[in-house]
Amino acid sequence: MTLLRAHDLSIGYGRTVIARGIDLPIEAGSVTCLLGPNGIGKTTLFKTLLGLIPPLSGRVEIEGNDLASLDQQTVAHHIAYVPQAQATEFSYSVLDLVVMGRTAHLGAFAAPGANDYAIAMTALERLGISTLADRDSTRISGGQRQLALIARALAQQARVIVMDEPTASLDLGNRILVLETIRSLSADNLAVVLSTHEPEHAFVVADRVAILAANGFLTGPVENVMTSDELSRLYRVGLVVEKTPSGRSVVGPA
């Protein structure tokens, strides 16, 4: 089923339109990769999908309801946000960080209870980092922190998870770890939308790809959209898609 849908969406700030005519369906159990050059507006699109900024025109629907008509807490029941892992000012423990994901399910004056902590631990276990629970979140590696943020999104129990460049500034080992985790999430019938600079990630992890380019928005299944021509046009440099002997698609200069 369609968990989230952008209808003829125009995104931007104030009077500045960054992109228009965006039609993007997000289905349960899918992984959608958002590609686009630097500064094109990927983060703006995410913020609009999450309801953090209003659309300039068009609308975002969550399971049939207009996002604009819902309050923040309800939206959080449906969509979770995994930002890029950055150092914070406060040294929260990993478990504390993850249990903050339960906020959407708490009453206005409530604090997390035993049940919430249990859900948080389950999320950590799901991602294989339960041993980090009591560690200082500012003193773990970037990849571990990124996983912790994904765990927080899981604890939020939202069906759609939006990830902003989750593999940026991670080393190769952590990158592979995160990508494999993302793929396993779709197996749980969640929907994941992630942005990335690496077209190859789309091949590895995604079913659908969405391309935000200067000449418009394009979305479709990976095999259809990720052609050499399309990628060359997108990144304004000659690129070619090739298959390795083991069957993996790679992208390289033409």
Partner 1 sequence: MRTATILFLLLALLIAVTVIASGIGPYAISPPEVARALVQRLFGGTNNGTVETVIFNIRLPRVAAAGIVGAALAAAGAAYQSLFRNPLVSPDILGVSTGAGLGAVTGILLGLPVTAIQLMGFTGGLITVLIVVVIARALRGGGDVLVLVLAGIVIGALAGAAISLVKVLADPYDQLPAITFWLLGSLAGIKVHDVATTIPIVLLGLAPLILLRWRIGVLSLGDDEARALGVNVSRLRAIVIVAATLVTASVVAISGVIGWVGLMVPHMARLLVGPRFDRLLPASILLGAAFLIAVDTLARSAARIEIPLGVLTAVIGGPLFVWLLAHNRRRMLP
d(CA 196, CA 187): 21
Instruction: Please pick, from the candidates 7, 20, 59, 77, the single residue that binds partner 1 as defined by CB under 8 A.
Output: 77
d(CA 75, CA 211): 25
Report if residue 88 touches partner 1, rule: CB under 8 A.
yes
Instruction: Please pick, from the candidates 17, 68, 111, 118, the single residue that binds partner 1 as defined by CB under 8 A.
Output: 111
Report if residue 90 touches partner 1, rule: CB under 8 A.
yes
Instruction: Please pick, from the candidates 36, 41, 55, 101, the single residue that binds partner 1 as defined by CB under 8 A.
Output: 101
Q: How many residues does the chain have?
A: 254
Q: Which residues contact 34 (CB under 8 A, 6 or more apart)?
A: 42, 45, 46, 193, 194, 195, 196, 209, 210, 211, 212
Q: Are 180 and 147 in contact (CB under 8 A)?
A: no
Q: What is the DSSP pairing of strand 79-82 with strand 160-163?
A: parallel
Report if residue 89 touches partner 1, rule: CB under 8 A.
yes
- Mapped onto helix, strand or coil, the DSSP state of residue 24 is strand
If the CB atoms of residues 131 and 138 are measured against partner 1, the closer one turns out to be 138
d(CA 200, CA 194): 13
Instruction: Please pick, from the candidates 22, 60, 79, 94, the single residue that binds partner 1 as defined by CB under 8 A.
Output: 79
**To the nearest whole angstrom, how small is the minimum distance from the Cβ of residue 24 to partner 1?**
18
Instruction: Please pick, from the candidates 19, 45, 50, 56, the single residue that binds partner 1 as defined by CB under 8 A.
Output: 50
If the CB atoms of residues 73 and 115 are measured against partner 1, the closer one turns out to be 73
- Mapped onto helix, strand or coil, the DSSP state of residue 23 is strand
| Per-residue binder mask for partner 1 (CB under 8 A), 6-35, x = binder | ------------------------------
d(CA 103, CA 111): 8
Identify the bridge partners of residue 10 per DSSP, sorted by sequence position: 57
Instruction: Please pick, from the candidates 36, 41, 55, 112, the single residue that binds partner 1 as defined by CB under 8 A.
Output: 112
Q: In the structure encoding, which two tokens stand for residue 94, read together?
A: 């990993």
If the CB atoms of residues 102 and 175 are measured against partner 1, the closer one turns out to be 102
If the CB atoms of residues 88 and 227 are measured against partner 1, the closer one turns out to be 88
d(CA 182, CA 184): 5
Q: Which residues bind partner 1 (CB under 8 A)?
A: 47, 50-52, 71-73, 75-77, 79-81, 83, 87-93, 96, 100-101, 103-104, 106, 108-112, 138, 156
